[in-house]
Amino acid sequence: MKCPACRGKMEQGTTTLPYELGRGKLIVVQDVPALVCIQCGEVFIESVTLKKVETLLNTVEKSGMTMGFLEYRAAA
Ligand SMILES: [Zn+2]
């Protein structure tokens, strides 16, 4: 697919997504598969991938974790 911002070429890569889950809670999800524009750096994440990230965050919230880093692979 082409970049929605600049029409550049997008390549399969990974990105890091920080999530603020309310007050003082910060979870960073690493190695999330994404399409990255080689021209402007725009990142596109598929909805299927985002669903998995959400599932992962729900699990984290239930575990009572308030800060930390997660690997996307743990949810996949
Ligand atoms: Zn672009």
pLDDT tens digits, residue range 20-65?
988 889 999 999 999 999 999 999 999 999 999 999 999 888 988 8
Q: What's the gap in Å between 11 CA and the centre of ligand 1?
A: 11
Higher-confidence residue of 6 and 62: namely 6
End-to-end CA distance of the chain: 23
8-state DSSP, 2:
B
Ligand 1 geometric centre to CA of 70 (Å): 27
Rounded CA separation 34/12 (Å): 6
Encoded amino acid at 30, one letter: Q
User: Which of the 8 DSSP states describes residue 3?
Assistant: -
CATH of 10-74, picked from 1.10.1740.10, 3.90.660.10, 3.10.20.860, 3.40.50.150, is 3.10.20.860
State yes or no: pLDDT of 8 exceeds 90.
yes
Question: Who surrounds ion ligand 1 at CB < 5 A?
Answer: 3, 5-6, 8, 37, 39-40, 42
Give residue 20's pLDDT: 92
Output the pTM of the full model.
0.84
More confident residue, 74 or 73: 73
Residues 7-25, mean pLDDT to the nearest whole number:
93
54: which 2 tokens? Answer: 């959400």
Give 59 Cα–ligand 1 centroid separation in angstroms: 33
